[in-house]
Amino acid sequence: MSHGMRRRSLLVSAAALATAAGPLSGLARAAVARRPKVLVIGLDGALLNRIEDAAAPRLKSLMARGLTAPSSIYANPLAPTMSGPGWSTLLTGVWPDKHKVVNNDFTGHDLARYPDFMTRAEAAKPALRTYAVSSWAPLTDTIFSSKVDTRVSTPSDEYDAGTTRRAVTALTEGDPDAVFVQLDNIDHAGHASGAASRAYLDAIHGADAQVGRILDAVTSRPSHGDEDWLVMVTADHGHTDGGGHGGSSWPERQTFLIAAGEGLTAGSVRYDVRMPDVAVSALAHLGVAVDPAWGLDGRPVQQPRPDAFDALRDRLKPPVDETGVGAGVIGFTHTPPDGWSVDNTRMGGGGVTEWRGWSFTTDEFWTKTQRDQERELNLRARNVFAVADGDEWSDKSVTGTFDSTLVSPAYEVTGGAPATLTYTTFYRQESPQQGQVLVSYDGKAPVVIKTYTADTPSVVETVRLQVPAGARTAQVRFRYTGGNNWYWVIDGVGIKPS
């Protein structure tokens, strides 16, 4: 098969590939279970916007035939925007507050408790064949465990060319079920010349050709028509225009996921994807059930779970008072989604327009208002989330205090039966600030069920509710009071039977 034919083969849908590539008829193939396989390609230090600027036809083809998800990561004091924490997050499915990789030395890590996705897959399905090859040795020496069938650290004199060659050989001569490949040269170009340079674009172009060779090895497999491949391309961190990473700037905190496979919408752009989703998506595709006891932070990209706040993305507005955000950044609204409301009857006057009362915003908009005040640690909120930010509100003259309540729709409940309230939260405290969670049943007086008066890192809270006999609905209120203090984030709210 010619190179051009192989490329066209990659661009058709997974279902069409299954029909076109093998000898079986469509009817016969429907009776044959296609074998799930995963390919993850890591482009160290790659920026999505520079991929879009570069001559990168193979990556752009994947974007056209699958989903593209720009995303962002943490910063200090949790962990710097470096490779050790970044790759550990991508490969384990948890953030650095769990895997404890906070540098490139891996000192104090907890990878035994939170192993890489191939190690989990091997434990669940020992017959799976797993293969990892990297140009940066710590990935295959440290992050991937010895449970992985094959781990290869490419010698420095062979670099990405050797990594690519080994990956192609593994795909053409072997039969791996899960493959990970890390290419390093984009990061080197970023350090040497900066992300705004021609050298950085050239490095992306070179990596694109190597990605193409790996993808061609997949589609050229004699058994490809009987295989169901999920292909994911991602990065561990970004780079500054001048070169380098490790800090808290928006370019350094950038990552992304490009994913193609059956069930993923061609040409789609998603904003709900976070770094830990790569590992969990791979496990889901391989048919490995994720045990809640593992404590993973990721979600399968194949199973999106948008919440009510995410519906606001198309309604977000440009900055009004926040001059440091950037004129081209769209990212806040005070208009709640359908069924929600904001009670500002006790809210003080004046202040920064964007943050007067509960607001709905994005990671980019909110963190750009003021760097290095830990807004970068809002790890577990996704896409659009709700923020009460007394600190930023007080950056212009105010009267009174910050006192705003976010009110949910009325959720259906069963009287006399337990239920569970779930929400994602991130709370930073400074007295006299306070956050209260209140619940009212059937429109009666709300009752406080949880109070925040101390720093609470980004977590998913679960609060058990004992629904009163006869009650049919429950409504949740999040009341934030304070002045020139800190902030409270809420996302992913829901009530379900326990």
Residues 188, 130 within the same domain:
yes
Q: What pLDDT is attached to residue 2?
A: 36
Classify 439 in phi/psi space as left (phi over 0), alpha (psi -120 to 50) or beta. beta
pLDDT score at 31: 44
Which run of H or E residues covers position 258?
strand 254-260
Q: Could you tell me if 118 and 244 lie in one domain?
A: yes
Q: Which domain holds residue 344?
A: 308-497
Is 334 found in the same domain as 194? no
Domain annotation covers residue 400: yes
pLDDT for the residue 10: 32
The confidence score (pLDDT) of residue 33 equals 85
Averages of pLDDT over runs of 10 residues in the chain (498 residues) are 34 35 41 87 98 98 98 98 98 98 97 98 98 98 98 96 98 98 98 98 98 98 97 98 97 98 96 98 98 98 96 96 90 97 98 98 97 97 98 97 98 97 98 97 97 98 97 98 96 96
What is the distance between the alpha carbons of residues 493 and 296, in angstroms, rounded to a whole number? Answer: 19
Beta-carbon neighbour count of residue 393 at 10 Å?
A: 28
Residue 173 shares a structural domain with residue 39: yes
**The pLDDT of residue 375:** 98
Indicate the residue among 294, 319, 338 that finishes a domain: 294
Q: Which of 294, 323, 345 is the last residue of a domain?
A: 294
Same domain, 9 and 99: yes
Note the pLDDT of residue 32: 61
Q: Are residues 202 and 316 in the same domain?
A: no
302, part of any domain: no
pLDDT at residue number 327: 81
Q: Which residues pair with 345 in a beta bridge?
A: none
Query: 177 in helix, strand or coil?
Result: coil
The domain that contains 99 carries what CATH number? 3.40.720.10
Domains in the chain: how many in total? 2
Roughly what angle, to the nearest 10 degrees, separates helices 83-92 and 277-285? 30
Q: Return the pLDDT at 16.
A: 36
CATH value at residue 367: 2.60.120.260
φ/ψ region of 100 (left if φ > 0, alpha if ψ in -120 to 50, else beta) reads left
